[in-house]
Chain A
Amino acid sequence: MIRLRELRKSYVMAGRPLPVLKGIDLTIPTGELAAITGSSGSGKSTLLNVLGILDAYDSGSYELGDVLVKDLTEARAAELRNKYVGFVFQSFHLLPYKNATENVALPLYYAGIPRRERFRRANELLERVGLGDRADHLPNQLSGGQKQRVAIARSLVTNPRLLLADEPTGALDSATSKEIMDLLVEVNRAGTTVVVVTHESVVADRCPRRIRLVDGLIAEDQHS
């Protein structure tokens, strides 16, 4: 599913390059549930953004499925994201003026799916994450856990092969965190490759594979 070779990326800070990813070699097969851990500033989010085609890298290579992700136009990157990748963020990033169904349906709008079909599929997904009865609620009428469920439903609505979650439980209490992880495990069991960035060991321990980053390099790669 994912194949990274010698991947490097640096940011330019005050005119000087600041290396963040210093040569990552990583293969994640289809169907895996992997956690990326590491201390703050170790480059977890940067790596996840590269995996999600949200950001470019400097050198090395990244293959997603059979696509070489390199030197893409913005339009092509948008298309690939829409088709192959679902995102879940720490702070949910739901549009506050859209109800749950409309939020979940948004990626389908950019996939060019007709309105009626969008809403049908969005409601199906809400049903799947256990929020069928909250379909017409606005985000501010939902609890944190419910918002993250809506976000997960949104990330799955285009049937992506890859789900990327950046600290999905970072804003939730431990009971709700467990529920969300239950859901991600369930999603993974249904066949989607899932990569979760986290610094919480409770969350990482739910993942069969744990990759630890230290200062832009893979320091540890555990399978259990």
Chain B
Amino acid sequence: MIDAALEIFESLSRHGVRTVLTLLSVAWGTFVLVVLLGAGQGLSNTAGHEFRDDAVNSLWLYRGTTSRPWDGLPVGRSVTFTNADLPFLQARIPEIDHLTGRFYTWGGQQISANGRSSDFDVRSVHPDHQFLENTKVVKGRYLDELDIEEHRKVTVIGVPVAEFLFRGADPLGQWISVGGVPFRVVGVFDDDGGENETRMVYLPISTAQAAFGGYDRVHQVMFTIGDASVEESVRIEQEVRQLMSARKRFDPDDPRALRVRNNVEGYAQIVHILALLEAFVWLVGLGTMTAGLVGVSNILLVTVRERTGEIGLRKALGARPSSIVGSIVAEAVLLTGVAGYLGIVGGVACIALIKVGFPDNEYIRDPAVRLGPALAAGAILVVAGAIAGAAPAIRAASIRPVEALREGAQ
């Protein structure tokens, strides 16, 4: 074993330039593959990041303006939502499992307590909103049905809001003023969406509609549809359009009257695009690697030809075909293995540098090489090395000592 390794090492070091070139070509291929995979992972992380704080199985409905005449009505009419639209949809679309409205008070509201005051966003919602936004209650509770029914003046505030207003003191039970109206803090929440999603307060939609003159108006309707497939989500989207067009009297094919964001479809598209991207990366990386391996194979073939005399002599002295094949395949595997290792290490280092160099890059977020693909690349290299070594090895094994040793043949 050690002997065989020494023989291989000797053979490799005797062909220094060849060895280095081969190493470089395979290492480069692996490096490209690893870096692309890492970058691909970064893109995938970015996409995941975009969706991180929302339920991906949801449909969001936005108000619109008609762009087609319908039923004798002119274009340019506003299509709006009211409280009654929610039970209407709930009753007709059985797939809905969480449903909420959103009511906006215009602009940021002056929010104050303890003599401190600042602008924060206000979202007035139903209790199910928690599921739509993946809101995490870290203290107290979220809004509940009783809050809605009884128009309670309660609020759930974001972690930074609590920090700003109460400086570490327990905010639960404290009163804060939202645009001049007092609300009692019943909970503190956090959200993976970061500052954008936490520098705000949640109010019961009914209370806010009453307190800020909203009557029964709703600005946005959002609901989840369980584990519906993309096709089902598209069908539900169509159903919603049909139902709402009849109810609100607009052309069901009018894209501007009711705007629907189908997260199921959107997410599926992104997942699909990312899968294509990853496949492409593998294709490019494997292509580069294959080129390197063909190089390895060719270079080994050339050396086998160069060493015909030597191989013939070794056979005359007792080398079996299997020993000749083994040493050449081992040489190829060692070459590609070492090169692959260098490529993987280089690629991982490069990814790490990108991470350090561009920490908050919004396109490639936390690029990383997952262990699985890196190991897969390594394993493929070793197998491919063996394949690359096969042709030269077979040629070497078929060398006939008599011919290789004939006087003048060398």
Q: Mark B388-408, 1 if CB is under 8 A from A, else 0.
A: 000000000000111001110
CA distance A167 to B318 in the complex (A): 21
- Knowing A97-B14, A115-B3, the reply to whether A91 touches B318 (Cβ < 8 A) is no
Asked whether B14 lies within 8 Å of A75 as measured between CB atoms, the reply is: no
Closest B residue to A46 using CB positions: B402
Residue among B321, B322, B400, B407 facing the most chain A CB atoms (10 A cut-off): B407
Residues of A with C-beta under 8 A to B2: 115
Q: Are A81 and B313 in contact (CB under 8 A)?
A: no
User: Residue A54 at the B interface, CB < 8 A?
Assistant: yes
- Measured between beta carbons, the chain A residues less than 8 angstroms from B406 are 45
Question: In the complex, what residues of A have CB within 8 A of residue B316's CB?
Answer: 52, 54, 81, 87
From A74, A89, A93, B320 is in contact (CB under 8 Å) with: A74
Is B49 an interface residue, CB under 8 A from the partner? Answer: no
Q: Which of B7-52 contact A (CB under 8 A)?
A: 7, 10, 14
Is A95 engaged at the interface, CB distance under 8 Å to the other chain?
Answer: yes
Residue A34 at the B interface, CB < 8 A?
Answer: no
Q: Are A90 and B318 in contact (CB under 8 A)?
A: no
Which of A78, A90, A106, A107 makes the CB contact (< 8 A) with B407?
Answer: A90
* CB pair A110 B405 closer than 8 Å: no
Contact B318 A78 (CB under 8 A): yes
In the complex the two chains form, what is the Cα distance from A49 to B323 in whole Å? 22
Bound-state Cα–Cα, A115 to B322, Å = 20
Q: How far is the CA of A93 from the CA of B323 in the complex (A)?
A: 20
User: Which residues of A in the span 20-76 have a Cβ within 8 Å of any Cβ on B?
Assistant: 45, 49, 52, 54-55, 74-75
Contacting pair A91 B407 (CB below 8 A): yes
User: Within B316-330, which residues are at the interface with A (CB < 8 Å)?
Assistant: 316-323
Cβ 8 A contact of A87, one of B14, B317, B323, B407: B317
Contacts of B6 in A (CB 8 A): 115
Decide yes or no whether A169 CB sits under 8 A from chain B. Answer: no
B321 & A74 in contact (Cβ 8 Å cutoff): yes
Cross-chain contact A79 with B318 (CB below 8 angstroms): yes
Q: How would residues 356 to 385 of chain B score, 1 for a CB under 8 Å from any chain A CB and 0 otherwise?
A: 000000000000000000000000000000
Cα distance, A55 to B406, chains bound together (Å): 12
**Separation in Å of the B212 CB from the closest CB of chain A?**
90
Q: Are B320 and A106 in contact (CB under 8 A)?
A: no
Beyond A54-B401, A78-B315, A109-B3, is A91–B320 a contact (Cβ under 8 Å)?
no
A81 and B407 contact, CB distance less than 8 A: no
A101 at the interface (CB under 8 A from B): no
**Is B174 positioned at the interface, with any CB of A under 8 Å from its CB?**
no
- Kindly state whether residue A192 has any CB partner on chain B within 8 Å: no
A142 contacts the other chain (Cβ, under 8 Å)? no
Q: A157's closest neighbor in chain B, by CB?
A: B317
Is there a chain B Cβ closer than 8 Å to A82's Cβ?
A: yes
Main secondary structure of the interface of B (DSSP, over half): helix
Does A202 make an interface contact (CB < 8 A)? Answer: no
Does A18 count as interface, using CB distance less than 8 angstroms? no
Q: Mark each residue of chain A from 82 to 113: 1 if its CB lies under 8 Å from any CB of chain B, else 0.
A: 11000101110101010000000011011100
CB distance from B7 to the nearest CB of A (A): 8
Determine whether B239 belongs to the interface, using a CB cutoff of 8 Å to chain A: no
B3 contact set on A, CB distance < 8 A: 109, 115
B18 to chain A, nearest CB (A): 14
List, in ascending order, chain B residues with CB within 8 A of A49's CB: 402
Q: Given that A90-B407, A109-B3 are contacting pairs, would A95 and B319 also be in contact in the complex, using a CB cutoff of 8 Å? A: no
CA distance A111 to B318 in the complex (A): 7
Q: Counting chain B CB atoms within 10 Å of each CB, which of A89, A106, A109, A154 scores highest?
A: A109
Given the known inter-chain contacts A93-B313, A95-B313, please indicate yes or no for A110 contacting B402, CB distance below 8 A. no
Contact at B318–A81, with CB atoms within 8 Å? yes
Q: Are A107 and B320 in contact (CB under 8 A)?
A: no
By the criterion CB–CB under 8 Å, are A75 and B321 in contact? yes
Question: Chain A: which residue is nearest B6 at the CB level?
Answer: A115
Shortest B4–chain A CB gap in Å is 9
User: How many Å lie between the Cα of A154 and that of B316 in the bound state?
Assistant: 12
Query: Knowing A95-B310, A110-B317 touch, does A75 contact B322 (C-beta < 8 A)?
Result: yes
Q: How far is the CB of B115 from chain A (nearest CB, A)?
A: 86
A54-B402 contact, Cβ under 8 Å, with A87-B316, A110-B317, A115-B3: yes
Instruction: Indicate if the CB atoms of A93 and B405 lie closer than 8 Å.
Output: yes
B295-354, CB < 8 A from A: 309-310, 313-323
A158 to B405, CA, bound (A): 20
28 intermolecular pairs with C-beta atoms under 8 Å apart? A45-B406, A49-B402, A52-B316, A54-B401, A54-B405, A55-B402, A74-B321, A75-B320, A75-B321, A75-B322, A78-B315, A78-B321, A79-B320, A81-B317, A81-B318, A87-B316, A90-B407, A93-B313, A95-B313, A106-B314, A107-B318, A109-B3, A110-B317, A110-B319, A110-B320, A110-B323, A115-B2, A154-B317
Given contacts A106-B317, A110-B317, A110-B319, 17 further A-B contacts (CB under 8 A): A49-B402, A74-B320, A75-B321, A78-B321, A79-B320, A81-B316, A82-B317, A90-B407, A91-B410, A93-B405, A97-B10, A110-B314, A110-B320, A110-B323, A115-B2, A115-B3, A167-B407
Task: Name A's B-contacting residues (CB within 8 A).
Answer: 45, 49, 52, 54-55, 74-75, 78-79, 81-83, 87, 89-91, 93, 95, 97, 106-107, 109-111, 115, 154, 158, 167
